[in-house]
C-alpha cells in the first residue's frame, strides 16, 4: 500500500505572474507553476506533518538538494551540509565532533539525517521545533559554516553559474529574491524526502523476507523488560530498548528526552535543560532513531562510543547514577546483565535496521 500526502495548497493550480529582478521588458513575464511533489509514505509509517507554508514541490526539493550540497553556504566555500552529513554513514559524521571551516570543533555529534520528516524536535537538545528552524543554525554558526546569512544569500543571489540560483528560487517559490527563509525551506523540503524504509526489518515487516533466528531473538529482547527478575522486579531478561526506541510508526524513537546514565554530573553538557530551564531536564538528550544505527557510529550526543558493542555494554552495565538518570536504566541493579550470546543477538537485530538503498539513493547524492 502506498499512501500519498496531499496538500490543499497543492490541489489548487497556483499561478503567479512575476518578473525577475532586472525586468527585460521585451520578454513576456514568467509564469510560476510549481509541480507538486508526490511524497510516497511507506507502509506502516505515519502521515508526515508538512508545514502548510512549505509544501513539497519538485522544484523546491531539487533546489533543496542543490543547497544541501552547496559549499558556497560556508564562509570559505569549502563546506556544505553534506560535509558533516555523509551519505555512507547515514548522513551523519563519522567523527565524534565535526570540524567547521575555521578549524573550530563542535561540541556534539552530528545526528544522522534519516526520516527527519517525522521528527518533532531537532538537535540533541530539541531546541528547534521544525526542520526549517533547525537549518537556520549551522550556516552562521562559528564552529560550523561560519557565514552570516546575509553573505550566504548574497552569494546565491549573485550566482552566475549554470545553476542560476535566482531562477531556481523563482521556479520553487515564485520569487528570485533569495532569502534565508527560502533557503531553509528548500533544504527542509529536500530533507523531508530522505526516507528510509527498505531495511531488512522493513522487508520483514512487509512479509517479504525472514529474519534469522539470531535477529529474531534480538528483536524479542528489544521488546522485553530488562533485568533478572530476581534482582529487577518484573525483569524479563530482555534488553528493554523499546521504551525509548519505540517501534510505533517504525521510527524507533519516542521523540522524547532521556538521561541514559552517561555521566554523574552535567557540567560538560547540560543538554535539554539549556532549552527548558527545568532542572529535571539536566543531562537529558533526544532519543535518536535506531534506523541505520550500524552505519552511524559514533554514538551518543558526544560520540563517546565507537561501536554498537560499546553501546550495548553501556546498557548492560546500567550506566552511571545521577540526579536525573532515567528510571528505565537499571543502574541500581547492575544493568541488563545480558549474556554474550544475547548481546550478539541484539546487535544482529540492530543490523536489520540498516538500509543501504537509502544511503545509496541517487536522489540524495551531491548533484554538483
Partner 1 sequence: MALGILTLTGTGCQRNADTLVHLNFDVVWDGDPYTVGESRPDIQGRPAQLERLECYVSDFFLHDVEEGWIAIDTVARIDFSQDGAHALLTVPGDGDRTIDGLRMGLGVPEDRNVDVDPASYPDPDHPLGYTGSAGLHWGWAAGYIFSVYEGRLLTEPNIPFTYHAGDDRTFRTTELTWDAPWVLECGSVDTEFTLVLDAYKCLHGEEDTIDPEIDPETHTGNNLPLAVRWVDLYMDAWSLAP
Q: What is the radius of gyration, based on Cα positions, of the chain?
A: 22
Cα separation, 240 vs 153, whole angstroms:
47
Which positions touch partner 1 (CB under 8 A)? 44-49, 118, 120, 223, 225, 232-236, 242-243, 246-250, 254-256, 278-280, 321, 323-328, 332
- CB 15 → partner 1: shortest distance, Å? 29
- CB 335 → partner 1: shortest distance, Å? 14
CB 312 within 8 A of CB 338: yes
- CB 253 → partner 1: shortest distance, Å? 9
- CB 217 → partner 1: shortest distance, Å? 17
- CB 246 → partner 1: shortest distance, Å? 6
* 305 Cβ neighbours under 8 A, 6+ residues apart: 297, 298, 299, 311, 314
Looking at beta carbons only, is 55 or 235 nearer to partner 1?
235
| Nearest residue to 92 (alpha-carbon basis) of 358, 335, 284 | 358
| Nearest residue to 329 (alpha-carbon basis) of 321, 339, 341, 337 | 321
- CB 315 → partner 1: shortest distance, Å? 15
- CB 279 → partner 1: shortest distance, Å? 8
Cis omega (within 30 of 0) for bond into 229: no
CA 67 to each of CA 19, 35, 217: distance values in angstroms, whole numbers, following the listed order: 23, 19, 43
Instruction: Using alpha carbons only, give the angle 355, 360, 365 rounded to the nearest 5 degrees.
Output: 135
Q: What size, in residues, is the chain?
A: 368
Looking at beta carbons only, is 26 or 277 nearer to partner 1?
277
Looking at beta carbons only, is 158 or 274 nearer to partner 1?
274
Locus of grid cell 534519516: 114
* 140 Cβ neighbours under 8 A, 6+ residues apart: 146, 147, 148, 149
Residue 185 host element (H or E): helix 180-192
Looking at beta carbons only, is 225 or 302 nearer to partner 1?
225
Cell of 363: 536522489
Looking at beta carbons only, is 235 or 335 nearer to partner 1?
235
For 251, other C-beta atoms within 10 Å of its C-beta total 21
Looking at beta carbons only, is 149 or 328 nearer to partner 1?
328
Looking at beta carbons only, is 113 or 273 nearer to partner 1?
273
Looking at beta carbons only, is 118 or 364 nearer to partner 1?
118
- CB 299 → partner 1: shortest distance, Å? 21
Amino acid at each position: 500500500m502506498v499512501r500519498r500526502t496531499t496538500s490543499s495548497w497543492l490541489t489548487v493550480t497556483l499561478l503567479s505572474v512575476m518578473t525577475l529582478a532586472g525586468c527585460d521588458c521585451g520578454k513576456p513575464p514568467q509564469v510560476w507553476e510549481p509541480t507538486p511533489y508526490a511524497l510516497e509514505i511507506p507502509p506502516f509509517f505515519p502521515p508526515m506533518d508538512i508545514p502548510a507554508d512549505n509544501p513539497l514541490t519538485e522544484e523546491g526539493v531539487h533546489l533543496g538538494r542543490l543547497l544541501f550540497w552547496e559549499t558556497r553556504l560556508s564562509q570559505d566555500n569549502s563546506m556544505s551540509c553534506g560535509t558533516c552529513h555523509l551519505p555512507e554513514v547515514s548522513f551523519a559524521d563519522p567523527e565524534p565532533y565535526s570540524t567547521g571551516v575555521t578549524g573550530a570543533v563542535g561540541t556534539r555529534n552530528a545526528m544522522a539525517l534519516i526520516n527527519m520528516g517525522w521528527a518533532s524536535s531537532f538537535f540533541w537538545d530539541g531546541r528547534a521545533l521544525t526542520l526549517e528552524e533547525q537549518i537556520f543554525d549551522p550556516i552562521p554558526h562559528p564552529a560550523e559554516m561560519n557565514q552570516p546569512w546575509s553573505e550566504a544569500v548574497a552569494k546565491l543571489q549573485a550566482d552566475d553559474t549554470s545553476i542560476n540560483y535566482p531562477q531556481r528560487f523563482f521556479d520553487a517559490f515564485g520569487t528570485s529574491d533569495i532569502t534565508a527563509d527560502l533557503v531553509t525551506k528548500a533544504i527542509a523540503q529536500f530533507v523531508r524526502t530522505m526516507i528510509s524504509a527498505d531495511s531488512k526489518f522493513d522487508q520483514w515487516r512487509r512479509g517479504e523476507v525472514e529474519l534469522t533466528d539470531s535477529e529474531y531473538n534480538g528483536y524479542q529482547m528489544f521488546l522485553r523488560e530488562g533485568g533478572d527478575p530476581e534482582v529487577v522486579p518484573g525483569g524479563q531478561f530482555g534488553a528493554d530498548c523499546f521504551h525509548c526506541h519505540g517501534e510505533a510508526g517504525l521510527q524507533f524513537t519516542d521523540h522524547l528526552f532521556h538521561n541514559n546514565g552517561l555521566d554523574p554530573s552535567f557540567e560538560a553538557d547540560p543538554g535539554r535543560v539549556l532549552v527548558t530551564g527545568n532542572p529535571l531536564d539536566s543531562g537529558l538528550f533526544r532519543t535518536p532513531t535506531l534506523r541505520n544505527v550500524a552505519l552511524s557510529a559514533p554514538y551518543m550526543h558526544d560520540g563517546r562510543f565507537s561501536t554498537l558493542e560499546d553501546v550495548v555494554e553501556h546498557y548492560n552495565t546500567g550506566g552511571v547514577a545521577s540526579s536525573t538518570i532515567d528510571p528505565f536504566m537499571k543502574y541500581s541493579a547492575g544493568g541488563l546483565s545480558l549474556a554474550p550470546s544475547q548481546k550478539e543477538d541484539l546487535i544482529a537485530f540492530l543490523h536489520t535496521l540498516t538500509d543501504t538503498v537509502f544511503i545509496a539513493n541517487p536522489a540524495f547524492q551531491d548533484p554538483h
